[in-house]
Amino acid sequence: MVMRMFKRNSGESLGSNVARISRMETESLKTWFDNTFMGLGASFDRWRYHGGPDGEVSEHMHILNELWKELQERDTR
């Protein structure tokens, strides 16, 4: 399951939830990256071996990409 912080509420897009990344502290971003990376592995395993939904994999990939872009941007500031 995608981290609760990024889970969609009714009527909210994933993009609007991911927008909060820019307001997070760098250490929190790193922690969320770690957790989301582990979540990607679990969701990929569920999809590949247990018939789980591919949407969770896609959401984890999207979130990781957004987290990584923000971390890279901060590293160059």
| Predicted TM-score (pTM) of this structure | 0.76
Q: Name the nearest CA neighbour of 44 among 33, 55, 34, 31.
A: 55
CA angle 29, 4, 46 (to 5 degrees): 100
pLDDT over 90 (residue 69): yes
In tens, the pLDDT along 3-54 reads 555 555 555 555 555 778 989 999 999 999 999 999 999 999 999 999 999 9
- Residue predicted with more confidence, 72 or 16: 72
Whole-angstrom Cα distance, residue 53 to residue 66? 21
